[in-house]
Structure 1
């Protein structure tokens, strides 16, 4: 379960999917025989596959996690978006009465589902190809799977197992200062922009969006 105060809950599917696409490296946690198997893998969201979409990826065949899936193990893939430290000095209210402490802002998406291991070579190749196309799209000269020798690709495909996670439930948590007065929210957005980093700027935008909504 996720601690999720109502004012931090993000329910819009398009917003959740956008974070997954922008930050595809998931912390994937699988429950198996009383243990938690934790892996970090990029996952591709196919919004058209299944009621709530399906996440696609792959792991090394040497990784025991895929064998654990035969028992119908439950799992959650955690996608972490912008995050930033928030100083109480950014709150106008702090300067008025001093009653403020530091906190941390973040946006995360949890995708719950029962994963499946895919060992069919054609389906594994399809998932690898789709992942490649998405992540090479921004390159000036996108690399394609077909650029490598066919026998080389065939040998590498034998060394991996594809993963499909039909999503049963999405949980979005946007902790972006919604619990503060508007003046404090404005102060946080300005303070974050003043940090000068891209990540802080992204969080400043999320804070600002919630003030305007």
Structure 2
């Protein structure tokens, strides 16, 4: 991913928080040189030696999992809020642009064993269900249903080997223009623009 110096993010803690918040990602592998992508929820987990892993699962009927062994490397893409920025919001003549947040993760992908898949699914359910009034956790689901569902999916794990993170949030603009962009994003009618404005305010704290 091309990242100008203004927009490069290197803080591991900041990137980890971003991934946890925007965990519906895209896994990309290749088959005979052609990219294949699947959009799925993913789980970021820390290993015993301060290394990181991304786990997830795809449907057995999805042919992408069959590329995991032959692919030298997989790419995970996480996308945060993004929105159009009008150049009418600047104090000088310029062209419009698009602001966004994105993280790319590279690593070798491997298929999980059944026990590893169960652990991954248990952790994923806990992340998304534990705070709810009536959480649906692993131990609450009937064994028959779980076994039937497990036969229809393939789990995978990626050890994080390279991270590329870009927050293109008008950091190269003047202070007055920066504030004006935030104000105008809040005036837009879509939630994505408001979320992007929140992100811009956060990095300036």
Q: Shorter chain as normaliser: what TM range?
A: over 0.9
How many residue pairs align between the two structures?
A: 205
**What are structure 1's unaligned runs of at least 5 residues?**
none
What are the residue-to-residue correspondences of 1:1-213 with 2, within 5 Å? 2-48=1-47, 52-91=51-90, 93-94=91-92, 99-118=93-112, 120-195=113-188, 197-212=190-205
Structure 2 contact 29–71 (Cα < 8 Å) conserved: no
Provide the alpha-carbon RMSD of the alignment.
1.7
Contact kept in structure 1, 2:76 and 2:105, CA below 8 Å: yes
Separation of aligned partners in 2, 1:51 and 1:64: 32
Distance 1:72 1:51, change over 3 A: farther
Relative to structure 1, the CA distance from residue 103 to residue 49 in structure 2 (aligned partners, 3 Å threshold; closer, same or farther) is farther
Q: Which has the larger displacement, 190-199 or 170-179?
A: 190-199
TM-score computed with the length of structure 2 as normaliser: 0.93
Distance 1:23 1:209 in 2: 16
Which stretch of the first structure deviates more once superposed, 20-29 or 62-71? Answer: 62-71
1:10 match: secondary structure: coil
Measured in 2, the distance between the counterparts of 1:74 and 1:30 equals: 7
| SS state at 2:179 partner | helix
Partner deviation per Cα, 1:130-160 (whole Å, 9 max, x = no partner):
1111111332211112323211211211111
Deviation at 1:110, TM superposition (A): 0.6
CA spacing shift, 1:50–1:72, aligned 2, 3 Å: farther
Q: Quick one: distance in 2 between partners of 1:155 and 1:164?
A: 22
Aligned structure 1 segments of 4 or more residues deviating by more than 6 angstroms: none
**For residues 154 and 178 of structure 2, what CA distance do their matches in structure 1 show?**
46
- Structure 2, unpaired ranges of 5+: none
Contact kept, 8 Å, 1:9 with 1:172, in 2: the verdict is yes
Contact map agreement 2:26 2:76 (CA 8 A) in 1: yes
